Structure 1
C-alpha cells in the first residue's frame, strides 16, 4: 500500500491534485496548505525537479517498506520461537526430588483475610530485574559453564541437569529494593540441584571468594562463595511451587541462595558461573556502588489492617509477616499508639529460611490509631527503629500503619 501510494505520487500530477486533500496523501495536503498561505510550494516551485522528487519519495518509501518487512519478519520469528519454547515448557515433566520435603506445617498459614498466603502464588511473586523484555530461553539449547578458578571446569545442558539429584527447599526471596513495609518479598518451595555439589565437583581454588554468575541477557551477579559452601540450600532451581520456572522467574534455570538479597544471589536465566575474586571482578550492581556481600536484614511488616483502613471499634486483629533468612524469627512485637509492646502469636514454619506469619489482638476505642511492629531473630538481634534507604545493602526501620476505628 505504501509503495502504491508512492507510485501514484511519482506519476504526472493532475491539475487538481494539489488541492484534493486526499486523506493520507501528505504531499498533496502540504502543497494545498502552502498555496493557501501564499508561501513557497513543494516540488518544482521549491527548486527541486518534480520527477526527481517523486522518484526520491518512491525510493524512500520502498526502503521504509523493506525495513518494516525485515523488522516484522524478525518479530514474527521471535514470536514463533517464543511460542515453541512455551510449548516445550508446558510439555515438561520434571523428575521428583530425591528426598521430597514433608508437607508444610498445617499452622504455617493463619488464613486471616487480607494476609498474603504463606506460599506466594507464582503469578503474584515479585519480579525485579534489568531485562527490557523477558528472555525466552530454549531448554534444548540451554548450556551452563562452571569455570574460572576451579580444577575441573564443567558444562551441563538441561537434560544433564535433570538427571542429577534434585532437592526441594522452602525459601523466601527478598529484593534489596524493598522498602520498609514493601511487597518485594515472596516465599515458595523450590526444586533444583544443589550448587555446592557442583562446585565441589569442579574443585574450587582456595581464595576464589566470588561466584560471578551471568544471565542470558548479560546481567552479572557476584555471590560470596562461602555462602554457597556453608551447607544452606543454594540451588540451581528448575521449578517453583510445583511447576517449571515461569519465564519471568528464570526459565529454564535460575540461582536461589537463601539469606542474601536477590541482587547478589538470585540470577535468573543463568548460563555462566565463573569462580573468581571480588578483588578481580565486579558484578553489575557492585560497579554501581551497591554492597557486594548483602545478607538479608531482619524485617517485619503489617498487612492487616491495611494503611488508612477504616474498621469497627472493639476487638481488632493485627497481622503480618516477618523474616530473617538463615537466622529465623524468634519473636514479633506490636504496639498501638506508642504504648507497651505486645508479643504476637507466631505461625509455624518449615525452617529458618522462610518468612513467618504473626498476629495479635487489640481492643480499640473509636478514633485514629497507629500500629508499629518489630521482630527479633534467633541470634537475639531486634530490628532497629532507625530508618535507612534500601541502597546499598537493604532498608531498616519499623513498619507502621495508621487506621481509623468507628
Structure 2
C-alpha cells in the first residue's frame, strides 16, 4: 500500500522537512520579484536620465537641440490647434515650461515601468530606448531640415542609455535571481543528506542535536539569499552612483554650454550704429497717466512672447547669416556685420498675436530699429510671381508673408533692436522680422536666418499647413484696462481707461457704455502714427451696485469693431470687451 505521505522528490523540499523549515515552491520567487521591483524602476530611471543627459551634452557640442527638445518640437507640431490655444490661454508664456515638464514626467514614468520589466526581460528596456530613439530621429528629420547634426544628440543619448542599462542590469539581475538558487533560511543544504530517503537517515538524526545541528535563528542566514545578494547590492549601488554622476554631469554641462552665456555676453557688449533715419521724440500726449494703464512703450521685460521654440535659440552674431534666395535674380548671403553696415531706420509699431483673446494681453508696442526689408528684396530682384516671403527661424519654424504687403511702403524691418537696446534673446536676437499691420504668425519671424521668395500655391508655412489664414491683417480692437474685472470701486466719479489698436489704419474713435446704455465717446491720447496702439479714457458717475462696462473702437476707414465674438483662429478674434465692477 502506498504511503500516505510519500517522500518528496524535490531535494530542497526534503531538506526543508528534515530541518523543520517550511517553504513553498513559488513563494520565494514571487516575494523576490516584489522585493526587487524598485531596483527595476531605479534602473529604468537611471538609464533614461543618462540618455537625456548625454543627449543634452551632444546637442550642445553639435550646436543643435537635445533629444527632449527635439521630441517636444514634434509634440508641438502634431498637436491640434485647439490644444495649442488652450495651452496659450491657460499657461500663457509658461506653456513651454509645462510642456517640457510633462514630457520629462512621461519619459520618467515610462522608463520606470520599462526598467521593472527589464529585470526579467532585458530586451524590453532596450526596445523602449530604441523606440524613443526612433521617435527622436523622425522628429529631428521632420522639423530641423537645415540641421544635418540634429539626429546626433538623439543617437548619442540612446547609445549612452543602452550602455547604462546594460551595466545596471548586470548588477541588478543576479540579485533578483538569488532566491531561486535553492538556499533556505535554515542554512545551506547538505546535498548528500538531503538526497537520502527519510527512512535512511543516520541515527544521529533522531538524537538530540549537537550545537552545530541546532536550528538556525530566524532571519537571514549568513549563507542565505541575503548574503549571496550582498555583493550585488553593493555593486548596483556603486554602478548606480557612477551612472547618476554621468547623467547629471553631462546634462549640467550640456545645459551650461547651450545656455548661451557667450551669446548673452556678445549681446551685452554690442554697440549698434545710430539710425540713419531717426524718428522724432514721441509726442508728449501719448500717455494719459492713468494708474494701472499700460505705458505707451512696453518694457522689453513685459513684452509678450508667443512662439513654438521650447528652448530659446542662442544664435551668436558672429555666426549668424541670412540667405535671401528663391524667385530672385540675385541671391544674397549676409553676415550680421553686412546687415549693420546698411542704413538703419526706426519704426514705432505695435505687435499683436493672433491668439490674443478679447481683452487679452498678447499685444505690445515699442520702437524698433532695423533695415528695411523692401530695400533688401529690391536689391535681390524679386520676380513678379513671387507672392510669398517664406522666412525661417533658426529652429526650423516657418512664416509666410505676402510680398506685396512688405513692398507697399510700410516700415517692414529686419529688426536688430527694440526700445533702444539690442533685441533680447527671447525676442529674436540677433535679427527678427517686424511687419506692421499683420498678426505675428504671418510677419514676425524671430531668430530669422533664411528668406525664400516663393508662391503661396507652391509652399505653405508652419501655421498655414494647419489651416490658419495665409493673409492675416490685424483687426480693429479695444480693451478695458482700468478698472479691472470684478474690481470694487468707490461710488461716484470713476475713470475707465484702456488701449485700442488698428495697425495700418489708425484708431479714430473709442466709445464706452455702462449697463447697455448709450455709447459715449472717450478721450484719445496722441500717437506718433497709424501703426501703434492708442490710449483712451472716459469718466462716469458710478452709482452704488454692480455695473457692466463695454468698449468698442472705430478705425480711420470708418469700420467699427463688431459686437459678435469670434475665436482667434484662423485669422484673429473679434467682439466687444466688457468687464463687471462693483461700486460702493
Q: TM-score, normalised by structure 1?
A: 0.87
Do the aligned partners of 1:176 and 1:262 also contact (CA within 8 Å) in 2?
yes
Rounded to whole Å, the distance in 1 between the matches of 2:235 and 2:445 is 50
Matching of residue 135 in structure 1 with residue 303 in structure 2: no
Do the aligned partners of 2:258 and 2:314 also contact (CA within 8 Å) in 1?
no
Do the aligned partners of 1:107 and 1:347 also contact (CA within 8 Å) in 2?
yes
- Give the structure with the higher percent helix: 2
1:387 corresponds in structure 2 to 565
C-alpha displacement of 1:319: 0.7
Figure out how many residues of one structure are paired with residues of the other and give that number.
368
Gaps of 5+ in 2: 1-37, 43-174, 182-224
Using CA pairs below 8 Å that are at least 6 residues apart, which structure has the higher relative contact order?
1
C-alpha displacement of 1:77: 2.2
Do the aligned partners of 1:119 and 1:187 also contact (CA within 8 Å) in 2?
yes
C-alpha displacement of 1:203: 0.5
2:334 corresponds in structure 1 to 156
C-alpha displacement of 1:351: 0.2
Q: Of residues 374, 379, 382 in structure 2, which corresponds to 1:196?
A: 374
Rounded to whole Å, the distance in 2 between the matches of 1:227 and 1:293 is 10
C-alpha displacement of 1:135: 1.2
C-alpha displacement of 1:59: 5.8
2:201 corresponds in structure 1 to none
C-alpha displacement of 1:365: 1.0
Matching of residue 244 in structure 1 with residue 446 in structure 2: no
1:34 corresponds in structure 2 to none
Gaps of 5+ in 1: 1-25, 31-40
Do the aligned partners of 2:358 and 2:479 also contact (CA within 8 Å) in 1?
yes
* Bigger radius of gyration among the two: 2
Rounded to whole Å, the distance in 1 between the matches of 2:580 and 2:180 is 70
Matching of residue 77 in structure 1 with residue 257 in structure 2: yes
Q: Of residues 19, 22, 45 in structure 1, which corresponds to 2:179?
A: 45
> Relative to structure 1, is the Cα distance of residues 138 and 46 closer, same or farther in structure 2, using a 3 angstrom cutoff?
farther
Q: Of residues 392, 396, 401 in structure 1, which corresponds to 2:574?
A: 396
Q: Deviations over 1:344-399 (max 9, x none)?
A: 11100000000000111111211111111111101110110010000110000000
C-alpha displacement of 1:45: 1.8
Q: Deviations over 1:141-178 (max 9, x none)?
A: 00000000000000111111111000000000000000
2:60 corresponds in structure 1 to none
Instruction: Indicate the SS of the match to 2:252.
Output: helix
- Give the structure with the higher percent strand: 1
Q: Deviations over 1:88-139 (max 9, x none)?
A: 1011111111121001010001110010011100010000001111111101
Do the aligned partners of 1:43 and 1:53 also contact (CA within 8 Å) in 2?
no
2:449 corresponds in structure 1 to 271
- Bigger shift: 128-137 or 163-172? 128-137
2:536 corresponds in structure 1 to 358
C-alpha RMSD of the superposition: 2.1
Rounded to whole Å, the distance in 2 between the matches of 1:306 and 1:164 is 45
